[in-house]
Structures are given as structure tokens and as C-alpha cells.
Amino acid sequence: MEIISRMEKDTAVVTVTGRMDAISAPQYQDKLNEMITAGTIAFVVDFDGLDYISSAGLRGILATAKALKIKGGQVRFANVRGTVKEVFEMSGFGSIFQVHESVAAALAKIG
Amino acid sequence: MEIISRMEKDTAVVTVTGRMDAISAPQYQDKLNEMITAGTIAFVVDFDGLDYISSAGLRGILATAKALKIKGGQVRFANVRGTVKEVFEMSGFGSIFQVHESVAAALAKIG
Amino acid sequence: MDPMAMTCKALLENLDEVLGFIESCADRFGLKENRKFGLLIAVEEAFVNVCHYAYGDKEGEAELVCSGDGGSFVVEIADRGIEFNVLSLPDPDTTTNIMERKIGGLGVFFIRKMTDDLSYQRKDGRNILRMVLHAHDDSATS
Amino acid sequence: MDPMAMTCKALLENLDEVLGFIESCADRFGLKENRKFGLLIAVEEAFVNVCHYAYGDKEGEAELVCSGDGGSFVVEIADRGIEFNVLSLPDPDTTTNIMERKIGGLGVFFIRKMTDDLSYQRKDGRNILRMVLHAHDDSATS
Ligand SMILES: Nc1ncnc2c1ncn2[C@@H]1O[C@H](COP(=O)(O)OP(=O)(O)O)[C@@H](O)[C@H]1O
Ligand SMILES: Nc1ncnc2c1ncn2[C@@H]1O[C@H](COP(=O)(O)OP(=O)(O)O)[C@@H](O)[C@H]1O
């Protein structure tokens, strides 16, 4: 798994590629926690290049989303497709999280 | 393993990349036999991108070299390095075959 | 496809090797890419659970066997840990909101959802979970 | 590194999986790239020989176990075929010219040359060949 982030104004756009499994998921959590600690509270996570996500990945997503909620922040997801979309739908994550067609659409909602 | 060939005048320059093992070695033999049947009798084989060669690979090299000898042809090798060089030296192939520093040097000898 | 087996300590650090092994077998069998990712998730969940729960504080082994059975790709994962039947768990609640939501039971739920056919056997002190994927995407994740 | 094992039918078509398994174990152990290729050649020769000779016309299995032993990476390959000790063969003649040259005995010769340490055991009806590579390139291929 590879994580790259860039800032669009005050929003962090985080691109995750590869596979988010029980070994790599903590990397996602660490990266976002680090940015939250540094003051970022708006995130768009781009899953365009993500092939695969297991329950360990969802655990990391949920934990950081909770941390963000407490700070009044938000996280939106873009390009949730294929197997990752299946997992989002099965787990209900597709309903409890904001999912967008593209990074641009997600950014527009943050405004 | 991947094999690409191009003609330099009447000489075929054959580039082999990847690994030449018991599964892929027949591919080398087939490719060269095909060209020999089509009339090519001078070959430079470029091993620059070859990571690995096993005794099955040497078997293929020897078989085609014999077929060429019978037709009065020749095969020269370029960029034999690393583990492939080790294998050539151990097996005596480094002495019974013509090995050159570069494709250009090999082509120069064919003239 | 003839059966191929891999055995290793049931430790999380072996997950990459386990998934690599399953993936190369699935590629050989010719399982389609999208079905393969679903299967890898199911195998991950099953292997991770064996790592976490099967042997308590002790160390133990996990064995994986891949085979082709007609038009189906079959993965069996076995351990010698405490008896546990994946099929006995109820489905988790997947509707609660972010703050209330706990993740528990999703692993086993994914195993059930990502396979076309799932069976469990306790035999000679071993848990054997058999996951089947049909080569053709007829009854998947329904 | 804890031992990891793989078992499959001794068929040439399984060579990719076998080498893939050994490679991922060697990577985990941290074996240097150039030493790894030498080891893969030794494993290929040993596995191919089990495929060709161990079981005659019948089918049989090969088992591979990788482990770390202090500063050394160890691969064991075992079969239940006819008794055969790799160490019993003489070195081949590597000096004859192209037309006279036959390739025979190079496989076993490579196994010996590409390993730092090699031992053979016949035990419980199994041939067990143990190949050792030191992490540090001290005594290789000499
Ligand atoms: N192999 C196993 N052996 C024993 N208990 C298990 C095993 N796998 C799962 N369990 C039990 O089933 C529960 C649900 O597992 P799972 O769906 O993977 O979610 P989680 O691990 O997040 O709790 C676990 O909390 C554990 O109590
Ligand atoms: N696993 C084995 N079981 C029985 N005989 C073997 C085995 N491996 C090698 N041999 C014998 O040793 C000979 C030399 O093997 P090898 O060095 O690999 O060269 P090649 O296979 O090209 O003959 C083989 O021809 C075969 O007779």
C-alpha cells in the first residue's frame, strides 16, 4: 500500500493505492492521525488505485473518522470502485460515509 | 522470460530478459530454431536483462548452437553478467562459447 | 488443478506470504481479477482470525490448501486451535452511525459474503474451513 | 525466521509457484539479490530432478521448507521417491567442445556449487536435501 497526500487549500487529499490489509492498514491510520494532530480536519480520500480492503482497513477508516468527528472535522471518499465498493456496501460504510464520484466532487462538497 | 529479436544486416540480435528456467527455456530454443529454419545463421544473444539461467537454459543454448554449427553458422553472447556469468563459468560455457562485452563488440566479430 | 499446500506459523507477519501463495494459485486456476480480490479478502479474514483467536496466547500453525474442483476454485484453511465454527455467528449490524459503530464480526461476515460456498468441519482436532468460488460469477455475494 | 512449508505435486508445471514461494521467503529473510538467484537455480535443479526422476512414471509430491538459522537461510526439499543422494555424483566434464558436449549432471553440479552447505538424509522413506546459504557471501561458489 502507498499513501500520498497533498493539500487543496485546507483540505488534505489522500491517495491510497495497492492493498489495505491487516499489515498495511495501520499505515493509513498513522498517516491521518499525524495530519489531524497537525491541525488538518478536512480530508478527501481517493481510492482510485485501491485494489482491495479488508475489515482491518475498515477498522482504520472508522477509527480516524471518529477522531475527526470529535474535532468537528470530516472525511469524504472518492472513486470507491470494484471490490472496495463491494466491501463498502456489505459493511454499510457506503451509507454511513460520504462517497463521491471524483475527488473534485468531494472537494466541492467541502467548499 | 521475454525474447525480442531484430536484424542487423544478416545477423539476428536476440535480446533475452527475465529468467530462463525449465519452463521458459523451450521458448528460446523455438525462437532460434524458427529463425534458423528461415535461413538466419549468425546470432548475437544479448543477456543484459537476463537475471537467471538454469541447466535447462544451457541445454537450449547448446542444442541451438549445435544446429547452427552443422549449418556453418555461429552464435555469440553479449553482456553475460552476475548469476548468469557464474553459471557460464561453472559449466564451461564461458570457454566453449564466444562471450563479448557488448552487442557492438559481438557484431564486430561477425563482421 | 492439483492441490497445492502451504503451512506456516499462524502469525500476522506471514500474511503477505499466505496471500501471495493463494494469489499465485488463483492465477494459475484462472480466477477472474475481481473474484480474486474478494477471495483474498475472505482468506485474509480467516487467516487473521486464526492468528488472533485459534491458539490463545500460544503459537500454532495454519495450513492452506488450494485446488481446482471442476469449475470451482477451492481454498481450505485449517488449524489445530480451539473449536470454532464460522457459520455459527449471526450477521453483524451494519447500519449504526459512525460514532456508535463498532467493528466486530465483519471478518466472518466478509468470509461468508465473498465466497459462493462455505463449509466447516471439525476433524481430528482440526478446524477446516472450506471456501469455494465458482469460476463463473453466478451466485457471488448475493 | 520461523519455518514455512509448501507442498505440491512434483510436476514441472508447479515450478513457478515453487520458485515464487522460495523467493518470497528469501526476501523476507533478507537474502541479497545475487545470492538469491543462485539459490533459486539450486532449488530449480533439485525440484526439476524430483519431477523427472524421483517417482519414475508415477506421480508424487515434493515438500519445500524454508527457515532462518542464525545468519543462514535454509531450504529443505523432500520427496518420497527412490533413494538418491545428490552428493554421490561425480562432477561433470565441463571442458568438451560444443559438438561433443552433452549436458548431463549439470543440475546436481549447480546445486552443489550454488549452496554454501549441502547435506542429504534418507529418513522414513523420504529423501531430504538441505541447502544452506550464509547471509554473508563468504564461502559461496568456491
Ligand atoms: N478462528 C477463530 N477461533 C476462535 N474464535 C474466533 C475465530 N475467528 C473468529 N472468532 C471469534 O469470532 C468473533 C468475530 O470475528 P470477526 O468477524 O473476524 O470479527 P473481529 O475479529 O473483528 O471480532 C471474534 O471476535 C472471535 O471471538
Ligand atoms: N531426485 C532424483 N532421484 C533419482 N535420480 C536422480 C535425482 N536427481 C538426479 N538424479 C540422477 O542424477 C543424474 C544427474 O542429474 P542432473 O545433474 O540434474 O543432470 P540431468 O538431469 O541433466 O541428467 C540424472 O540423470 C539422474 O539419473
Q: Assess contact for D89 and D40: CB atoms under 8 A.
A: no
* Of residues C99, C46, C18, the one with CA closest to residue A54: C46
- Whether the pLDDT of residue B51 is over 70: the answer is yes
When pLDDT is cut at 50, 70 and 90, the band that residue D141 belongs to is very low
CB contact under 8 A, A54 and C96: no
Contact flag D5-C3 (C-beta cutoff 8 Å): no
For chain A, the chains sharing at least 3 beta-carbon pairs closer than 8 angstroms are C
Tell me which of D98, D112, D115 to substitute to probe the interface with B (most B C-beta atoms closer than 10 Å).
D98
Point out the residues of chain C with pLDDT beneath 70: 137-142
* pLDDT, mean of residues A74-90: 96
Does a structural domain hold residue D142?
no
Burial B36-70 (b: 16+ CB within 10 A, else e): beeebbbbbbbbeebbbbbbbbbbbbbbbbebbee
Asked if D11 has any chain C CB less than 8 Å from its own CB, the reply is yes
Neighbours of A10 (CB within 10 A): 10
Q: Is the CB of D105 under 6 A from ligand 2?
A: yes
Asked if the structure places residue C84 within a domain, the reply is yes
| D98 assigned to some structural domain | yes
Q: Do D98 and B87 touch (CB under 8 A)?
A: no
- How many degrees, rounded to 5, is the angle at CA D107 between CA D102 and CA D109? 95
Task: Report the chain D residue with the minimal C-alpha distance to residue C17.
Answer: D24
Partner-chain contact C7 D6, CB within 8 Å = yes
* Mean pLDDT for all residues in chain B: 96
CA nearest to C115, candidates C28, C26, C3, C4:
C26
Which DSSP state fits C11?
-
Examine residue C9 and state whether it is found in any structural domain, yes or no.
yes
SS (H, E, C) B19-47: EECCCCHHHHHHHHHHHHHCCCCEEEEEC
Contact: B86, D97; criterion CB under 8 Å: no
Closest among C92, C94, C9 to C50, alpha carbons compared = C9
Minimal CA–CA distance to A73: which of A26, A33, A102? A33
pLDDT at D142: 37
Shortest CB distance from A96 goes to which of C101, C109, C141?
Answer: C101
Please tell me which chains touch B, using 3 or more CB pairs under 8 Å as the contact test.
D
User: Does residue C142 lie in a domain region?
Assistant: no
Our count of domains for chain D comes to 1
Ligand 2 atom nearest the C-alpha of D106 is 17
E-strand ranges in A9-95 read 11-20, 42-46, 50-53, 74-78
pLDDT of residue D138: 55
Flag whether residue C11 sits within 8 Å of chain A, measured between CB atoms: no
Torsion-angle region of D13 (φ positive above 0: left; ψ -120 to 50: alpha; else: beta): alpha
Average pLDDT over residues B23-42: 96
d(CA D106, CA C105): 55
Q: Does ligand 1 lie within 6 Å of residue C37's CB atom?
A: no
Atom 3, ligand 1: which residue's CA is nearest?
A: C54
**pTM of the complete model:** 0.84
CATH of the domain at D75: 3.30.565.10
What is the grid cell recorded at A35?
Answer: 495530519
- With a cut of 70, say whether residue D139 has pLDDT above it: no
pLDDT at C139: 45
Query: C42 lies in which domain range?
Result: 4-137
Spatial contact of A75 and A65, defined as CB atoms under 8 Å apart? yes
Query: Stretch D28-34: mean pLDDT, rounded?
Result: 91
pLDDT tens for residues D80-115? 999 999 999 999 999 999 999 988 889 999 999 999
Whether the pLDDT of residue A33 is over 90: the answer is yes
Delineate the domains of chain A, giving CATH numbers in brackets.
2-109 (3.30.750.24)
Name the residue among C88, C63, C65 with its Cα closest to residue C78: C63
Instruction: Give the three cell numbers for residue B29.
Output: 530454443
Residue D96 in domain: yes
Structure confidence at residue B69 (pLDDT): 94
Compute the average pLDDT of residues B50-76. 96
Mean of pLDDT over chain D: 93
Instruction: Label residue A20 exposed, middle or buried (CB < 10 Å: 0-12, 13-18, 19+).
Output: buried
D130-137: average pLDDT: 88
Q: Is residue D50 part of a domain?
A: yes
pLDDT tens digit string along D50-66? 999 999 999 999 999 99
Mutate to test the interface with C, among D21, D55, D67 (most CBs of C within 10 A): D21
